Amino acid sequence: MAKSKAFYIKYIGIALVCFIVFLLIPSKKKDEVHYRDFQEIQESGLLKVATEYNSIGFFADQDTVSGFYYDLINAFANDQNLKVEILPIMSHEERMKGLYNGDFDIIASNIPLTINNDSLYILSKPLIRSKLVLVQRKPTTDDDSLFIKSQIDLAGKTLHVVKGSPVKDRINNMSNEIGDTIYIDEIDKYGQEQLIALVAHGNIDYAVCNEDIAKAALDSFPQIDINTDISFNQYYSWAVNSHAPILLDTLNNWLLNLTKSKQYQELYKKYYLLPY
């Protein structure tokens, strides 16, 4: 219990710090926005990346920063002779806003590789496959009315998601599939792991998160259940501003070579193939 409480407090603190940092970033008028493509990034020597703080992609353990996406970002920057500045932002909506404003060059987080109708960003080649799962508390009795056993049982329930996340599109589709309403509550300034903590401590009943993030939280929150799928396995990518096609091509060519390498397999095994 002490471990899960410390986990919860740590991430609430991180979310507050990230919120304050983002407030300090000056907003820009549309005609003041400046987008950088790869040549300008090379000239500056600095690559700016936004990501989500979580126990798979980017996290701090005492004085050490690591994570699957953290390692990939640094490997890409090193190969391009660039320094890298990584800013953890919990809100998907705020990360997208920063990309639109030209504050970042890349968003390195799990963005589903689906049809993208937003002309302001383009997706990289996929890096991983994962799926969405329902995070809820384990049943307290055999007839626990809160416990969801199948997607049909979600009718009339409220699912909490990260604000602005594409997850809500999947939930709306699922609502059509079951022929009943599923309500969505978008939580601002919190990431997926914070939602999991809120479920575990009884602040909310249901959240939808990536399976890999949910699995990584099981050790800290053994009271949660993540066995109800919300989606099939799908590919996830990074986002680049649509005004930076050369950066996208450079990143995609690098990823194409990397994903075929032993280095990538070792990184994937290190962060994803963990015993649960």
Domain residues of the chain, as ranges? Answer: 2-27+34-128+235-271, 130-229
What are residue 148's phi and psi, to 5 degrees?
-95, 120
Rounded to the nearest 10 degrees, what angle do helices 262-271 and 68-79 cross at? 150
pTM score of the predicted model: 0.80
**Count of residues in the chain:** 276
Mean pLDDT (whole number) for 260-269 = 91
Q: What is the mean pLDDT of residues 17-43?
A: 68
Least confident range of 2-6, 87-91, 158-162: 2-6
| 2-6, 57-61, 138-142, 171-175: least confident range | 2-6
**Could you identify the residue written with the tokens 């391009």?**
80
Two tokens, residue 188: 């601002």
The fold adopted by the segment(s) 2-27+34-128+235-271 is D-Maltodextrin-Binding Protein; domain 2 (3.40.190)
DSSP helix/strand/coil, 129? strand
Q: What tokens were used for 201? A: 């401590």
What is the pLDDT at residue 166? 84
Average pLDDT, the chain: 87
* Residue 63's pLDDT band (cuts 50, 70, 90): confident
* Residue 27 pLDDT class (50, 70, 90 cuts): very low
Question: What average pLDDT does the segment 196-218 reach?
Answer: 95
Please return the burial class of 118, using the count of CB atoms within 10 Å of its CB with bins 0-12, 13-18 and 19+: exposed
Identical fold between 2-27+34-128+235-271 and 130-229: yes
Cα separation, 243 vs 245, whole angstroms: 6
For domain 130-229, the question of CATH label 3.40.190.10 is answered with: yes
List the 158-162 sheet strands across, edge first.
183-187, 158-162, 207-210, 132-137, 224-229
Contact 133, 251 (CB under 8 A): no
Residue where the block lists tokens 């309403």: 181
